[in-house]
Amino acid sequence: MEKTLRRKGDAVTIHQVAHHAGVSPMTVSRVMNGNSNVREATREIVMRAVRELNYTPNPAARSLAAAQGTRIALIYTNPSAAYLSELLVGALDGASRTAAQLVLDTWANVTPAAERTAARKLASSVAGVILPPPLCESKAITSELIAAGIPVVAVASGRFRANLSCVRIDDFRASQEMTAHLLEMGHTRIGFIKGHPNQTASARRYEGFHAALQEAGIALDPALVQQGYFTYRSGLEATEKLLSRKRPPTAIFASNDDMAAAAISVAHRRGLDVPRDLSVVGFDDTPTATTIWPELTTIRQPIAAMAESSIELLLRSIRRKDGETKVVVDHVVAHQLIKRDSVAEPPKSSA
Amino acid sequence: MEKTLRRKGDAVTIHQVAHHAGVSPMTVSRVMNGNSNVREATREIVMRAVRELNYTPNPAARSLAAAQGTRIALIYTNPSAAYLSELLVGALDGASRTAAQLVLDTWANVTPAAERTAARKLASSVAGVILPPPLCESKAITSELIAAGIPVVAVASGRFRANLSCVRIDDFRASQEMTAHLLEMGHTRIGFIKGHPNQTASARRYEGFHAALQEAGIALDPALVQQGYFTYRSGLEATEKLLSRKRPPTAIFASNDDMAAAAISVAHRRGLDVPRDLSVVGFDDTPTATTIWPELTTIRQPIAAMAESSIELLLRSIRRKDGETKVVVDHVVAHQLIKRDSVAEPPKSSA
DNA sequence: CCAAGGAATGTTAACGGTACCACGACGACC
DNA sequence: GGTCGTCGTGGTACCGTTAACATTCCTTGG
C-alpha cells in the first residue's frame, strides 16, 4: 500500500520532527545535541515536537554521520563475581539507553610492566574507558589514557584524583556510620578486617572506622585490626586470628561482604552463633550479603547506578568537542546503611 | 595534508576492499554476508583482500543501511550473581565481536499472567532473544516470541524442544560422571540435593545421578534425596535434613554450587571436616566454587562461551533472511569434571 | 541610517553499507 | 535457433544523522 521502500516502518526520523516543528533537520540535530546557538524559543518548539512524536535519534545514523564511534571500554581484573555482575548490568543499561557500544576486556593477566602498552593500544580503539578498582589506582594506566586524550572515569575509587573523573561513594563516612552503629549497639571491642592495600577505598574505610572510634573516645587496639585482601580466603585467615585472641572482639567489621561471609563461616565453625555471640558487618551489599545466613548488615554501594552514571559522564565528555573544555568531575553518590540480621547487642558475659 | 574531510582516519571501508579486489562494493558486501550467488573464485579474491586490509564492516553503517537493527535482548530473572556475571561477560563479548547491540532486561517481577504481553512487547523492539533458565522453560514466552517471528535461543536449558534453538551441556551425562566419580572414591551413601523443579536441567541432573547409581547396582534411598531450589538457603535446609539422619550420607551431591557451598557451611557448623568427614560436590563451576574453602569439586559449564555461541547463532539467524529457512539447532557443548579439594574417601568408621 | 559582524538557521554533501533493479552471459527447453 | 529463465555482477539510490559551508537575521556602533 504505502511506499514502503526500505524503511522498516515505525521509527520516527529527524525529518518528521523538523517538519512537525517547522524548522530544518539541522536545527533539530543541534537541539538534540544541546550544542550551541539555538534560540530558546526555537529550542522549545523543537523539544515539544520531539515529545509529541516520541522521537529517539537513531544511534546507527548518528555514529555513522559523526564518524565518532561511541565505543566505551570497561576493563576489569578479577573482582568478585557479585561485584562484576552488578557493574555489568549497570554499564549495559547505561550503554543501551545512550546507544553507546560497550566493549569488555579483562586485564587479569596483564603485568604492571605491560600496562602502559595495553593502555596505549586500548586508547586507539575506543572513545572512552571505565575503570573499576584496582585498575583505576594505577598511575601508569590512567596517565597513559589521559595523555591519549580519551576520557576516563574511575568508578568506586576511594578518592578523587586530579585529571580523572570519578563516580564513587563516600567510603570514609559510610565506614564511620557503620562503626557508629556498632558502637550504639553496645560493642566496644570491634575487630576490623582491612581491604586490599592497593585500593584507596580500603584506606578510606579504615580511616572512617578509626575516626568513629576516636569520636567515641575508644582507643584503637592495633591487635584487633587485621590485614585482608577483599577475598573470602583472606577473610577466613583474618577472622581466625581475631577469634583466637584471649579476649576476642564482640563484633567484626569486614571491609567487604566476601570477607564478612568468611567471618561468619569461621564463627560457625567455632560454634559461635551470629549474631548472638558475634556480630558481623560487611560493605558493598553485593548479592552475597543476602545469599548467606544470617543476612548481612552492610553498606549499600549502588554499583549498577554508578556504572550507569559513568557511561553518561563519558558520553557527555565524548560528544562535547566544541567547547574543548575538559571537565573533570567528582561524582559522589549516596550510600546506605542496611540493617539485617547479623548484628545484635554484645553478649552480657563479655561486658 | 590529505583531504581529511570528515573521516577520522584509520578505518578500512568496503570501497577500499572492493578496489583492492577489483570488484564492486556490492560484491564485497555479498561476500561479507555470506549471502548468495557469488562465484567461488570471486569470493576467495574478496576474502583475501579482506584479510590483507584487515577489514571490519562498520556496524553503524550496516545497521543503518539494512534498517535491520541487530538488537539482541538478554532477559534474566534472578539467577545467582556468579551465574549472571558469566552470562553477561560471554554475551557482551559475543555482541562486541559481531557488532550486535545487546540490551538487558530483568523480568524478575513479571507475573506469569503478564508474560505473554511482555513477550509480545519485547518482540517488537528487538531482533533476537537469549533466554536463560527459568524463562526458557516457559511455553508462554517462547511460543509468543516464535510466533512473532524473531529467533530465540535457550541457553543452558536442560533439554531440547522443537522450534527453539538451544545451547547447552549434557546435564544427564555430566551428572552421571560426577556420581561415578563419587562411587569410585568409595562412597555408597550419597545424598542428593535436587534443583528447582521448574527447570528441566534439574530433572536431567537427578536422572543422571539415578542412572549412575543403578549402573553400580546401588539402590536409590529416597530419604537421601532432598528437594532444593538452587538457592543457598534451600541448600542449608536440605543439608540439615540429610545430616540429621541416623546414618548420614558420606557425600553430598548438590545440583549447583550455591547449594554445595551451603552444604559445606552446615557441615562446618556441625563440626564436620570437609572432605575428611563429608565429601561435597557441586555443579556449574561458578566463581563461588573457588571462593569458598575447601574449593569445590564440580562440573564446569562454560556459561560465557555458551552465551557467546548464542549470540552468534541468533545473528546468523537474523542476517539470513534470503533462504527463509528457519534452522533450529541443538548445540551441545562439552562440560568438564573439575576435581578440587572437597572430595575424599569416606571415613573408615562409616563403612 | 547604513555597514559590519556575530548569532541563528538552512543547504549540501557526505558517513559506510545494503536493497533494488538492470544487465550481460550462459544453459535449457521447445 | 530463438526465447526464456537463472546466475553473477555492477550501478544507483538511499538509510538517518551531522560537519562544513552558506545564508539570513538581528544587533550595534559610527
pLDDT in tens, A41-50: 999 999 999 9
Residue with the larger pLDDT of the pair B274 and A123: B274
Cα distances from B265 to residues A230, A293, B81, B182, B281, in angstroms, run 20, 10, 19, 20, 13
B46 nearest nucleotide via C1' and CA: D9
Give dist(CA A323, CA B63) in Å, integer: 31
Q: What's residue B197's pLDDT?
A: 95
* Predicted confidence (pLDDT) at residue A130 exceeds the cutoff of 70: yes
For chain B, give the percent of residues with pLDDT over 70.
Answer: 92
* Predicted confidence (pLDDT) at residue B1 exceeds the cutoff of 50: no
Give dist(CA A326, CA A346) in Å, integer: 52
Query: What average pLDDT does the segment A198-222 reach?
Result: 96
Q: What's residue B350's pLDDT?
A: 57
Mutate: best of A5, A101, A278, A295, partner B, most B CBs <10 A: A101
Residue with the larger pLDDT of the pair B41 and A192: A192
Average pLDDT, chain A: 88
Determine whether B213 is exposed, middle or buried from the number of CB atoms within 10 Å of its CB (0-12, 13-18, 19+). buried
Q: What's residue B93's pLDDT?
A: 83
**Is residue A338 a contact partner of residue A298, using CB atoms and an 8 Å limit?**
yes
Q: What's residue A204's pLDDT?
A: 96
* Predicted confidence (pLDDT) at residue A186 exceeds the cutoff of 80: yes
A7 nearest nucleotide via C1' and CA: D15
Q: How confident is the model at residue B322 (pLDDT cuts 50, 70, 90)?
A: very low
- Which residues in chain B have their CB less than 8 angstroms from residue A60's CB? 59-64, 69
Q: Which residue has the cell 547409581?
A: B213
A86–B82 C-beta distance less than 8 A: no
Say what the pTM is.
0.82
Q: What's residue B5's pLDDT?
A: 43
Residue with the larger pLDDT of the pair A94 and A43: A43
Average pLDDT, chain B: 88
Q: How confident is the model at residue A9 (pLDDT cuts 50, 70, 90)?
A: low
What Å value separates CA B39 and C1' C24?
Answer: 16
Q: At residue B73, what are phi and psi to the nearest 5 degrees?
A: -95, 140
Alpha-carbon Rg for chain A, nearest whole angstrom, is 25
Helix ranges (H only) for chain B are 14-21, 25-32, 40-53, 59-66, 81-98, 115-125, 139-147, 171-184, 200-215, 232-243, 257-269, 288-291, 303-319
Give all strands of the β-sheet with B251-254 in edge-to-edge order.
Answer: B225-226, B190-193, B251-254, B279-281
Range in A70-79, A315-324, B171-180, B259-268 with the lowest mean pLDDT = A315-324
Chain-centroid distance of CA B235 in Å reads 22
Strand, helix or coil at A101? strand
Q: Which residue has the cell 550467488?
A: B37
**Is residue A73 a contact partner of residue A63, using CB atoms and an 8 Å limit?**
no
CB crowding A177-214: b at 16 or more within 10 Å, else e: bbbbbbbebebbbbbbbbbbeebbbbbbbbebbbbbbe
* C-alpha torsion sign, points A122, A124, A126, A127: positive
Angstroms from B178 CA to nearest CA on chain A: 25
From A68, which residue of chain B is nearest by alpha-carbon distance?
B8
Question: In this structure, is the CB of residue B6 within 7 Å of any atom belonging to strand C?
Answer: yes
From B105, which residue of chain A is nearest by alpha-carbon distance?
A93
Give dist(CA A244, CA A235) in Å, integer: 14
* Predicted confidence (pLDDT) at residue A1 exceeds the cutoff of 60: no
Give dist(CA B66, CA B70) in Å, integer: 10
Cα distances from A226 to residues A191, A193, A195, A278, in angstroms, run 8, 5, 9, 17
Residue with the larger pLDDT of the pair A195 and A2: A195
**Is residue B126 a contact partner of residue B72, using CB atoms and an 8 Å limit?**
yes
What Å value separates CA A319 and C1' C6?
Answer: 25
Q: What's residue A350's pLDDT?
A: 57
- Bridge partners for B75 per DSSP: B105
B313: which 3 cell numbers?
A: 547463532
B284: which 3 cell numbers?
A: 556449574
Range in A46-60, A257-271, B232-246 with the lowest mean pLDDT = A46-60
Alpha-carbon Rg for chain B, nearest whole angstrom, is 25
Mutate: best of A14, A63, A88, partner B, most B CBs <10 A: A88
A65 nearest nucleotide via C1' and CA: C15
For chain B, give the percent of residues with pLDDT over 90.
Answer: 57
* Predicted confidence (pLDDT) at residue B333 exceeds the cutoff of 90: yes
Residues near B115 by beta carbon (within 8 Å), at least 6 away in sequence: B107, B138, B140, B141, B144
Query: What average pLDDT does the segment A150-170 reach?
Result: 89
Range in A187-191, B42-46, B77-81, B340-344 with the lowest mean pLDDT = B77-81
* C-alpha torsion sign, points B37, B41, B43, B49: negative
Tally Cβ neighbours within 10 Å of residue A286: 27
Question: In this structure, is the CB of residue B14 within 7 Å of any atom belonging to strand C?
Answer: yes
Give dist(CA A167, CA A136) in Å, integer: 11
Q: What's residue B249's pLDDT?
A: 97
Q: How confident is the model at residue B103 (pLDDT cuts 50, 70, 90)?
A: confident
* Predicted confidence (pLDDT) at residue B6 exceeds the cutoff of 60: no
Determine whether A42 is exposed, middle or buried from the number of CB atoms within 10 Å of its CB (0-12, 13-18, 19+). middle
Phi-psi region of A19 (alpha: psi -120 to 50; beta: other; left: phi over 0): alpha
Chain-centroid distance of CA B161 in Å reads 16
- Our CA angle for A233, A201, A275, nearest 5°, is 50
Q: What's residue B67's pLDDT?
A: 67
Give chain D positions with protein CB within 7 A.
7-12, 14-20
Max distance between CA atoms of chain A, in angstroms, equals 87
Residues 89-108 of A with CB under 7 A from strand C: none
Q: What's residue A322's pLDDT?
A: 41
Q: Which residue has the cell 576492499?
A: B17
Query: What average pLDDT does the segment B326-351 reach?
Result: 88
From B237, which residue of chain A is nearest by alpha-carbon distance?
A293
Residue with the larger pLDDT of the pair B4 and A337: A337
Mutate: best of B64, B74, B103, partner A, most A CBs <10 A: B64
What Å value separates CA B26 and C1' C19?
Answer: 11
Q: What's residue B55's pLDDT?
A: 87
A17 nearest nucleotide via C1' and CA: D16
Range in A13-22, A94-103, B38-47, B55-64 with the lowest mean pLDDT = A94-103
Angle, helices B59-66 vs A59-66, to 10°: value is 130
Residues near B35 by beta carbon (within 8 Å), at least 6 away in sequence: B29, B322
Note the pLDDT tens digit of each residue in B212-242. Answer: 999 999 999 999 999 999 999 999 999 999 9
Range in A72-81, A88-97, B1-10, B191-200 with the lowest mean pLDDT = B1-10
Q: What's residue B130's pLDDT?
A: 94
- Bridge partners for A226 per DSSP: A193
* C-alpha torsion sign, points A252, A257, A259, A261: positive
- Our CA angle for A100, A101, A107, nearest 5°, is 125
Q: How confident is the model at residue B11 (pLDDT cuts 50, 70, 90)?
A: confident
- Please compute, for residue A88, the number of CA atoms within 13 A of its CA located in the half-sphere on the CB side: 30
B41 nearest nucleotide via C1' and CA: D8
Give dist(CA A233, CA B318) in Å, integer: 46
Q: How confident is the model at residue A281 (pLDDT cuts 50, 70, 90)?
A: very high
Phi-psi region of B300 (alpha: psi -120 to 50; beta: other; left: phi over 0): beta
Angstroms from A64 CA to nearest CA on chain B: 6
Q: How confident is the model at residue B8 (pLDDT cuts 50, 70, 90)?
A: low
* Predicted confidence (pLDDT) at residue A17 exceeds the cutoff of 80: yes
Note the pLDDT tens digit of each residue in B165-185. Answer: 999 999 999 999 999 999 999
**Is residue B136 a contact partner of residue B154, using CB atoms and an 8 Å limit?**
yes
Q: What's residue B187's pLDDT?
A: 97
* Predicted confidence (pLDDT) at residue A304 exceeds the cutoff of 60: yes
Give dist(CA B91, CA B102) in Å, integer: 8
Residues near B90 by beta carbon (within 8 Å), at least 6 away in sequence: B303, B304, B305, B306, B307, B308
B56: which 3 cell numbers?
A: 571490519
CB crowding A328-342: b at 16 or more within 10 Å, else e: beebeeebeebebeb
Query: What average pLDDT does the segment B333-349 reach?
Result: 94
Q: What residue ranges in A55-146 does DSSP mark as E strands?
A: 71-76, 101-106, 128-131
* Predicted confidence (pLDDT) at residue B92 exceeds the cutoff of 60: yes
Question: In this structure, is the CB of residue B64 within 7 Å of any atom belonging to strand C?
Answer: yes
Query: CB less than 7 Å from strand D: which protein residues?
Result: A 5-7, 11, 13-15, 25-26, 28-29, 32-33, 55, 57-58, 61-62, 64-66, 68; B 5-6, 22-27, 30, 36-39, 41-42, 61, 64-65, 67
Give dist(CA A325, CA A333) in Å, integer: 24
Give dist(CA A98, CA A63) in Å, integer: 12
Question: In this structure, is the CB of residue A59 within 7 Å of any atom belonging to strand C?
Answer: no
